[in-house]
């Protein structure tokens, strides 16, 4: 079976037109039949294969080339070099409102989108109510698209895609502007779409959605492929990159704070466990192992700062919190203004998933919070339980339980 998508050495260059002389130079090059000599390389040597029924998550910082790559795959813009082979009908949800006529109503745009997708009048009529129900925008369906909010446009665009049910679906941050209920509906549909053999190319800043919906992931960095492989591995490396980047920013901020603001602050925070690489922040933690949280605090007046540690799920759900002062814990003095702290969580009972560990610097009385530093924690492994944590338990028969109570 032919692959749904095959990209071989795709590249895209854009001429630089910052000055009048640049425009003249570009015109001269074009008249001679030559490419621009002054250009910006948006994409360089992107290659991958996506099989039918496959799912690929595209991640990366803003300006990494993700949207440019999607537009090339969707046929919106041509590549400067390289070859792309597409097998099957593509439906692309890229920029908000793309493919919709702003003066037409939602119903009229359903008709337009269906016609452009090659559906007959009969097929469009048969799917119209299904689209309207999925979009769930009420009476606005009869209003011009130009009056819609961004969320309403996405609702209608995704609803049209569900009805057309293409062989290849491309989405670019579709879930970013939808409300929670609509996101759940979209995720459920995409999971069903993949089970039925659809091919998905998802571009998102939400690594949670990428891991939930995609088997493979591609991390784009400065227009090139930084990492390509299993979604969980690529996302872990991507988060590690951001953690290191954030750590450097935090250190610069802490140095500035020490010299000028005179505030209690967290100057270093590291997570570690058995098997972790030394000297690096832990991003991947094996289920059931001990977790050590270490850090450094800055005190502007030499007094030991207060420290509290919190753990939350990626979606913000609180899991656990502890305040050192409440348990008579005091950070260890390591210098005139530096204090170290350590806290161990034996056999960390968190279930597999993504979490955030937070360290809060407080005043010595534990009354005011001055600084917060976060580290991402990915708990790896498999578990038959559900929820946030694993609680020690044992199953007992009713008779035995009654005997225990009587005793």
For 28-71, write each residue's pLDDT tens digit. Answer: 666 766 666 667 789 999 999 999 999 999 999 988 999 899 99
CATH topology of domain 5-230: Rossmann fold (3.40.50)
CB neighbour list of residue 157: distance below 8 Å, 6 or more residues apart: 93, 96, 97, 99, 100, 174
What's the residue count for the chain? 407
Residue 401, pLDDT score: 55
Q: Say which range, 74-83, 95-104, 134-143, has the weakest mean pLDDT.
A: 95-104
CB neighbour list of residue 166: distance below 8 Å, 6 or more residues apart: 88, 89, 90, 91, 117, 198
What pTM value is reported for the model?
Answer: 0.63
Domain range summary for the chain, segments of one domain joined by +: 5-230, 262-380
Residue 144, pLDDT score: 92
Architecture of domain 262-380: Distorted Sandwich (2.70)
pLDDT in tens, 67-98: 899 999 988 899 999 999 998 888 887 765 66
Average pLDDT, the chain: 83
The CA distance from 239 to 217, in Å, is: 13
């Amino acid at each position: 079976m032919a692959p749904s998508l095959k990209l071989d050495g795709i590249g895209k260059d854009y001429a630089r037109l910052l000055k009048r002389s640049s425009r003249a130079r570009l015109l001269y090059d074009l008249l001679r039949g030559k490419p621009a000599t002054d250009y910006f390389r948006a994409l360089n040597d992107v290659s991958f294969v996506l099989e039918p029924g496959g799912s690929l998550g595209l991640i990366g910082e803003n300006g990494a080339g993700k949207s440019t790559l999607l537009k090339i795959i969707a046929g919106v813009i041509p590549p400067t070099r390289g070859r792309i082979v597409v097998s099957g009908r593509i439906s692309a949800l890229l920029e908000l409102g793309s493919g919709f006529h702003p003066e037409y109503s939602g119903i009229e745009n359903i008709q337009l989108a269906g016609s452009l997708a090659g559906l007959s009048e009969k097929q469009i009529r048969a799917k119209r109510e299904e689209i309207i129900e999925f979009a769930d925008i009420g009476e606005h369906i009869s209003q011009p698209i130009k009056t819609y909010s961004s969320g309403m446009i996405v609702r209608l665009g995704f609803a049209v895609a569900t009805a057309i049910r293409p062989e290849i679906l491309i989405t670019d941050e579709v879930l970013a502007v939808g409300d929670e209920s609509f996101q759940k509906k979209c995720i459920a549909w995409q999971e069903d779409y993949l089970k039925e053999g659809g091919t998905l190319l998802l571009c998102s800043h939400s690594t949670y959605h990428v891991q939930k919906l995609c088997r493979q992931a591609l991390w784009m960095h400065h227009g090139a492929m930084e990492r390509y492989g299993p979604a969980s591995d690529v996302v872990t490396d991507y988060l590690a990159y951001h953690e290191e980047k954030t750590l450097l920013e935090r250190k610069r901020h802490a140095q500035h704070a020490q010299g000028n603001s005179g505030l209690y602050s967290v100057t270093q925070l590291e997570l570690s466990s058995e098997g972790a690489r030394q000297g690096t922040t832990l991003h991947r933690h094996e289920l059931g192992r001990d977790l050590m949280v270490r850090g450094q605090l800055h005190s502007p007046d030499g007094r030991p700062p207060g420290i509290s540690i919190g753990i939350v799920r990626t979606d913000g759900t609180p899991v656990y919190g502890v305040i050192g002062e409440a348990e008579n814990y005091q950070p260890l003095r390591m210098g005139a203004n530096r204090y170290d702290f350590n806290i161990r969580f034996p056999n960390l009972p968190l279930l597999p998933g993504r979490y955030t560990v937070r360290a809060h610097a407080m005043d010595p009385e534990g009354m005011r919070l001055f600084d917060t530093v976060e580290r991402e924690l990915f708990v790896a492994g498999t578990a038959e339980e559900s929820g946030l944590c694993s609680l020690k338990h044992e199953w007992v028969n009713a008779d035995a339980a009654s005997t225990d109570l009587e005793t």
